[in-house]
Structures are given as structure tokens and as C-alpha cells.
Amino acid sequence: MAKRIGILTGGGDCPGLNPAIKGVVYAAEKLGYECVGLAEGWKGLVDGKTIKLDKKITEYFTEQGGTYIGTSRTNPYKIEGAVKKCLKNFKKLKLTGLVAIGGEDTLGVATKLHKEYKLPVVGVPKTMDNDLSITDYTFGFDTAVTVAADAAFRLKDTGKSHRRIMVLEVMGRHAGWVALFTAITSGADFVCIPEKKIDVSKMMKKLKESYKRKKFALVVTSEAAELGSLGKTAGKKELDQFGHVILKDRGMGSQIASLIERETGIETRFAVIGHIQRGGSPTVFDRILSLRVGMQAAHLIHKKNFGKMAALVGNRIMGVPLHKATGKLKTVDKHWRDLMEILF
Ligand code: F6P
């Protein structure tokens, strides 16, 4: 029997997961392994539920959005007895190694399982939020920004026609990368990111100027931007299994639009594109990146280089320590905030 590699995709899905799975499968088969998918993230290892994977099944995964093997935000460390079940099922399924494809949370679990139990696991970074350290980019981000930029262009058309200010709310959790890159690429007039409290008077001044000049304006806001005391008073915050505040009901786009209308007297509308950013075919950049990190993960397992993550460093894919990727969130840094000051 060929040696076996288990593959799981955990956390929020994003375009690039299927090509990453294909990358692992193709490289693994070439190295003499067979692959098996674990259904719906860590849940699959807890339950021992598998999905067949091979080159034939994954042949056209390069252009496919979503994840064939499913995902969930299951955290085995938060479920009684689940870590033991993961270890037991790893043996029962006769796995040589495990490829965990995920973001901060999924890879955080992989880091712990490797550190505490020497589980032979390697990581593949994915997230539309682009907030993982030690990798220059995560796949999913480029597609999410491309989709958001398209939405921004469309909002500009309708904003211009109606002489309105338009506000676009994008995802990205506690990192402002998606909002910032969308705002830059769409030539927005103002951008609100979680890393920098919104300077309301500066925003109003800029929007009034823009509106006077061209009779419309566009604001891009991250779902987690902060309005300080002007913002909605936070009610009871709902947390996911990893302790993250669920941001879906925060309504930043709506809050900012109301504030703008109140302060400027200019008719303002908002749009929230939410999960649309996570669906559809990955961009060329994401297809290539996800295939490459997937292939590298199979090689890391083959070389018994466990506890590592396949990262993009410059233009190379390298094995970097998993714990470094998940130890600290990569948020919008000074270089980008300075650039933001120039552009907005
Ligand atoms: O982490 C990816 C992400 O899309 C975030 O940008 C967003 O806050 C969150 O997931 C939404 O999660 P869910 O799919 O559980 O609503």
C-alpha cells in the first residue's frame, strides 16, 4: 500500500483551495504517496471522515472556487476529547503526514498538535484576509480584492449617475489589507481600516472636496474599522470557536454611510459584498500560488520536514516554521499606512 497523506481545509473558504489540493495530490502521487481528503476541516480528523482524492478527481481543480473536501471552523481544542480523536484517527487512517490548509486558526491548531504531540503535519497558508505572517501573500487575497475592485467600479458608475457618495464594505477581519488594496486599485476617495481609527473630520473634509469637484465620491471600509464613540455601541459580541468576534452584524458600511449623510448633507448609499469575495474562480495569481504551495507541502512531508509551512518568500516557495506564521497577525504596517496618507 502506498504511503498516505491526509489533506484538510479549515476556516473560511477562499478561491485557491481546490488548486492547492490539486498541487498536493499531483506532487504527492509523483513522490509515491496516495492522498485522502478529511471532510470539513479538523472535523474530518475528529470524526475520521474521509473523501477520496486522486489526480483524476483533481484534474480541473485549478480554476475551481470553493473546496471540494469542505471546511468548518471546528477547533478540536475546544471540544472535549477531540484532540485524542484526531491522534487516534491519524493512526487509524494510516497517514504518513497531514497537510493542513488554512489561516491563523487552522494552522494554529496544526502548530499545537505538532508541538504537543509531534503530529507529522505541515501547513499551507490561505486566507482572503492576507493576515498570516512569514508569507508575502496568502492565496485568496488577490481574488477577493479583484472582486471587491469590480464592485467598487460598479458603485462609482451608479454614484456618478445619482450624484451620491458610495460606501463599499469589504471583509478582511482585523487586517485592513482587502480594504486598502481595493481602495488603492479603484481610486477611492477615502479608506477606513481597523489598524487606524477613522479621523472623521479628515474624512468629511476630503469627501466634501471630492464631491464639490466631481459630484460623487467613493469610500471603502473594512468590516472591522473603528468609528470610536461615533460608532454603534457594541452589544453582546458573538464569538466563534477560535474566540474571534463574528463581524457580520457590525454594519460598518451602514454606520459610515449614515454618518457621512448626517455630516455632509449629501445623499449616501452603501453596499456590503461579504461572501461574494470568497466565491468564484481564483485569479491567475491565486491559481499559481495555491498550486505551488500545495506542491511544496507534499515535498515537506516527503522530506519529513514537519511543523513547517509552505510560504511565498519573494518569488520562492519555502518551508518556514509554522509557529512563526501563526504567532502574530500580519496587519497593515507603517510602510502601507504612510502610502495611505499620500493617496487618501
Ligand atoms: O477570515 C475570512 C473571513 O472572510 C473574514 O474576512 C470574515 O470576517 C469572516 O471570514 C467571515 O466568516 P464566516 O464565513 O464564518 O461568516
DSSP 182-212: HHHHHT-SEEE-TTS---HHHHHHHHHHHHH
Asked if residue 319 and residue 272 are part of one domain, the reply reads: no
Mutate to test the pocket of ligand 1, among 128, 169, 193 (most ligand atoms within 8 A of CB): 128
Ligand 1 proximity of 74 Cβ (cutoff 6 Å): no
pLDDT at residue number 81:
97
**Active-site amino acid positions:** 129
pLDDT at residue number 237:
72
Asked whether residue 233 carries a pLDDT value surpassing 60, the answer given is: no
Asked whether residue 127 carries a pLDDT value surpassing 60, the answer given is: yes
Nearest CA to ligand 1 atom 16: 248
pLDDT at residue number 262:
96
**Count of domains forming the chain:** 2
Give distance in angstroms: CA of 151 to centre of ligand 1.
18
48 belongs to a structural domain: yes
Average pLDDT over residues 226-243: 73
Least confident of 149-153, 196-200, 223-227, 241-245: 241-245
Asked if residue 231 and residue 195 are part of one domain, the reply reads: yes
pLDDT at residue number 241:
82
pLDDT at residue number 323:
93
The CATH number for 224's domain is 3.40.50.460
Domain membership of residue 204 as a residue range = 142-278
Average pLDDT over residues 239-245: 81
Ligand 1 proximity of 171 Cβ (cutoff 6 Å): yes
Predicted confidence band of residue 1 (pLDDT cuts 50, 70, 90):
low
Q: 117, 82 in Cβ contact below 8 A?
A: no
336 belongs to a structural domain: no
The CATH number for 54's domain is 3.40.50.450
Asked if residue 15 and residue 110 are part of one domain, the reply reads: yes
pLDDT at residue number 252:
95
Query: 72-81 pLDDT, tens per residue?
Result: 999 999 999 9
Asked whether residue 199 carries a pLDDT value surpassing 90, the answer given is: yes
Asked if residue 123 and residue 13 are part of one domain, the reply reads: yes
Asked if residue 297 and residue 274 are part of one domain, the reply reads: no
- The answer, as to whether pTM is greater than 0.85, is yes
Q: 177, 195 in Cβ contact below 8 A?
A: no
334 belongs to a structural domain: no
Nearest CA to ligand 1 atom 10: 12
Which of 262, 278, 294 delimits the end of a domain? 278
Predicted confidence band of residue 296 (pLDDT cuts 50, 70, 90):
very high
342 belongs to a structural domain: no
Least confident of 75-79, 190-194, 327-331: 327-331
> Which among 88, 118, 97 has a CA at the least distance from the CA of 3?
97
CA 172 to ligand 1: nearest atom: 6
341 belongs to a structural domain: no
